[in-house]
């Protein structure tokens, strides 16, 4: 099993007390659930980023809008881009980027937005 620091996502040894890269204590994380999910949008494992985007959209995390917009517009991974676009649309269906992606975005992003935007 691979362990990652919850702050910088560097790989850490199982049972380590502190991250060797950033010094974060690994035995507790006092950030809010929403903050943890926003941070997970930068996780090195792609599936974690996709799940984080989906969850942020479902909980309506307005704090995540700038990062989701960045991913929806500039991410090279089409599945992550689609998840970010869908999450962004759930949080702010009138966001200008949602409208643009719905009409002229990549195929997967447009399909994902059809699930959310009428």
Helix axes of 78-91 and 65-74: crossing angle, nearest 10 degrees: 140
Q: How many domains does the chain have?
A: 2
Whether residue 45 is found in the same domain as residue 79:
yes
pLDDT greater than 80 at residue 114: yes
Whether residue 26 is found in the same domain as residue 36:
no
pLDDT greater than 80 at residue 48: yes
Whether residue 18 is found in the same domain as residue 73:
no
pLDDT greater than 90 at residue 20: yes
Give the pLDDT band of residue 12 (cuts 50, 70, 90): very high
Q: How far apart are CA 72 and CA 77, in angstroms?
A: 10
Q: Which structural domain range is residue 3 located in?
A: 1-30
Whether residue 40 is found in the same domain as residue 16:
no
pLDDT greater than 80 at residue 68: yes
Whether residue 36 is found in the same domain as residue 25:
no
Whether residue 58 is found in the same domain as residue 98:
yes
pLDDT at 72: 96
Whether residue 36 is found in the same domain as residue 84:
yes
CB 112 within 8 A of CB 85: yes
CB 28 within 8 A of CB 42: no
């Amino acid at each position: 099993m691979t362990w990652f620091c919850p702050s910088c996502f560097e790989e850490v040894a199982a049972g380590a007390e502190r991250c060797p890269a950033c010094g974060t204590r690994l035995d507790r994380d006092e950030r809010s659930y929403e903050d943890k999910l926003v941070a997970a949008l930068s996780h090195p494992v792609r599936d974690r980023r996709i799940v984080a985007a989906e969850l942020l959209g479902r909980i309506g995390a307005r704090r995540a809008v700038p990062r989701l917009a960045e991913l929806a517009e500039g991410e090279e991974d089409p599945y992550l881009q689609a998840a970010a676009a869908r999450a962004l649309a759930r949080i702010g269906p009138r966001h200008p980027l949602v409208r643009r992606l719905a009409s002229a975005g990549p195929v997967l992003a447009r399909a994902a937005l059809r699930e959310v935007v009428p």
